[in-house]
Amino acid sequence: MLACFSVNSLTLSSDLCQTIDMSDDGPTPAEGLALLIKETQAVLHQRMDERLRPLGLSVPQYACLQTLRTRPGITGSELARRVFVSRQSMNVLIQGLEKRGLIERSDQPGPRRERATVLTSAARDLLDQAQVRVGGLAESMTGDLATDDVAHLSALLTACRDALLAAAPSSTPSGTSTGTAR
């Protein structure tokens, strides 16, 4: 059975629809979509990692440097939220980037004793090289799609993300919350 996904009255065109096994044992259309999104994210992450590794960067390090380029002075906690890692992982990541001379942290602690973080010129040069290496991935991923389909898919995924952000954390069968503690 061919399942097309619709969010807020937007529907993927037939050439973008994913065939999902709708048998009793198969995932629901929503579950199939969630799995497809996760699979796509995993492949994209792997391809980015392959291109960044020769520069000595991981995907989280690249994401951290990219974020610092657009938001200089951001704190480690905010970086962690934007890069989708824990504060503890971000602290380790920042320490490694600082040891490599790619970032500098302010001597003056800000709110909650956090120090502002900025890129060094070496990081900006490395980031320029990294962007050249990973820049074509998005175009490769969407190269067979019409421009309107890319915009439509973006709108659908934005709606899915926003719905997840708006949803209250649910409880697992053991009664513990699935939300993340801050």
Lowest mean pLDDT among 21-35, 36-50, 67-81: 21-35
Q: What is the mean pLDDT of residues 13-33?
A: 65
Q: Could you tell me which residue, 57 or 8, shows the higher pLDDT?
A: 57
Q: What's the CA angle centered on 24, arms 23 and 25, to 5 degrees? A: 90
- What pairing do the DSSP bridges indicate for beta strands 18-19 and 2-3? antiparallel
The residue ranking higher by pLDDT, 47 or 177, is: 47
Q: Are 159 and 8 in contact (CB under 8 A)?
A: yes
Distance, in Å, from the CA atom of 174 to the CA atom of 56, rounded to the nearest integer, reads 41
pLDDT at 40: 95
| Dihedral sign, Cα of residue 100, residue 105, residue 111, residue 112 | positive
CATH number of the 57-133 domain: 1.10.10.10
CA distances from 33 to 2, 12, 28, 86, 87 (A): 12, 12, 9, 26, 29
- The residue ranges of every structural domain in the chain are 18-55, 57-133
Its pTM stands at: 0.70
- Tell which residue, 139, 140, 134, has the closest CA to residue 52: 134
pLDDT for the residue 23 = 53
Report the candidate in 64, 131, 50, 55 with the shortest Cα–Cα distance to residue 97.
64
List, for residues 57-110, the tens digit of each pLDDT value: 999 999 999 999 999 888 888 899 999 999 999 999 999 999 999 999 877 655
Question: pLDDT by residue (tens digit) across 111-150?
Answer: 556 677 889 999 999 999 999 999 889 899 999 999 999 9
Lowest mean pLDDT segment, chosen from 51-60, 117-126, 159-168, 173-182: 173-182
Q: Residue 11 forms beta bridges with which residues? A: 6
